[in-house]
Amino acid sequence: MYINLSGLNILVTGASKGIGKAIATKLAEAGATIAVHYNKNMREAENLAQVLGNESRAFQADLSQPDEAANLFDRVVLEMGSIEILVNNAGVAMPVNIDAKETDWMTTWNTTIQVNLTSCGVLCKKIVEHFIKRNATGRIINITSRAAFRGDTAEYMAYAASKAGLVSLTKTIARAYGKQGIKAFSIAPGIVRTDMGKETMEKYGSEHATGDLALERLTEPKDIAPMVTFLASGMADHATGSTIDLNAGSYVH
């Protein structure tokens, strides 16, 4: 199957490493120009943008801060002219015990919700407005989690809640704006072989990550990127609002 995304500008958040880097690479291979968002990994992001070609470029934003998501979107549009597809990939998974100090628990909760849900919501709002203003069609692809459906361990309560909110946000956009040509999709990985996944395995053991897999190995970023590219192509638009499980069969719904 040949996918041609030439002429499309795509904002991928959290694109300097892991899942985001794999997504950005695959989209660029199909011809897209990528806005490579990063928070701290400037060198990696700038190097990636150069490797991707197609006039891709890197943009910094700390999505844990309230105004940063909107500012990021505006900068990308200012420099690139338009955005045709948004991939909300950036996220944090911060464990905190329920018996932690109230202030520590609330700090973790608020930061997680800000990065994983509020900033994603702001970017979705901005791009929906962008599409409508330009009378253009477009797509939003949100990287959620199986935790949105099956929950998570107690230490990751905020993470699960944030991802559940993101799924609901995606469905709402799909239902509300479909007739205006705006499509929205969720992809729900489980534990993925990334730095975040490594931290989970170090904390709980490899059996926690692999024990309930239906397949022979843990999901890797390269397993997620092709699905994002397929959704970006427009060939699955009638699946708008759907969640695609990409977690090696560890959770299906």
DSSP string covering 145-190: -THHHH---GGGHHHHHHHHHHHHHHHHHHHHHGGGTEEEEEEEE-
pLDDT of residue 33: 98
| Residue 229 burial class via C-beta count within 10 angstroms: exposed 0-12, middle 13-18, buried 19 and up | buried
Chain segment 30-55, per-residue pLDDT in tens:
999 999 999 999 999 999 999 999 99
Output the six-digit token pair for 218. Answer: 């843990």
Output the six-digit token pair for 90. Answer: 């950036």
- Across the strands, what pairs with 182? 138
Q: Which of 159, 177, 204, 251 is catalytic?
A: 159
Closest Cα partner for 64 from 39, 98, 30?
39
| Contact between 100 and 78 (Cβ < 8 Å) | no
Q: Catalytic site residue 159?
A: yes
| Contact between 249 and 145 (Cβ < 8 Å) | no
9-244 CATH choice from 3.30.200.20, 3.10.20.30, 3.40.50.720, 3.40.50.10540? 3.40.50.720
| Contact between 8 and 33 (Cβ < 8 Å) | yes
Chain segment 144-201, per-residue pLDDT in tens:
999 999 999 999 999 999 999 999 999 999 999 999 999 999 999 999 977 665 566 5
| Contact between 161 and 177 (Cβ < 8 Å) | no
| Residue 239 burial class via C-beta count within 10 angstroms: exposed 0-12, middle 13-18, buried 19 and up | middle
Output the six-digit token pair for 174. Answer: 């799909």
What ranges do the domains of the chain cover? 9-244
pTM: 0.94
Q: Phi and psi at residue 59, in whole multiples of 5°? A: -135, 130
**What is the Rg, in whole angstroms, of the alpha carbon atoms belonging to the chain?**
17
| Contact between 160 and 115 (Cβ < 8 Å) | no
- Across the strands, what pairs with 10? 34, 85
Dihedral sign from CA coordinates of 249, 28, 234, 127 = positive
pLDDT of residue 70: 98
Chain segment 100-121, per-residue pLDDT in tens:
999 999 999 999 999 999 999 9
What is the average pLDDT across 192-211? 63
Q: For the chain, first and last CA: distance in Å?
A: 27
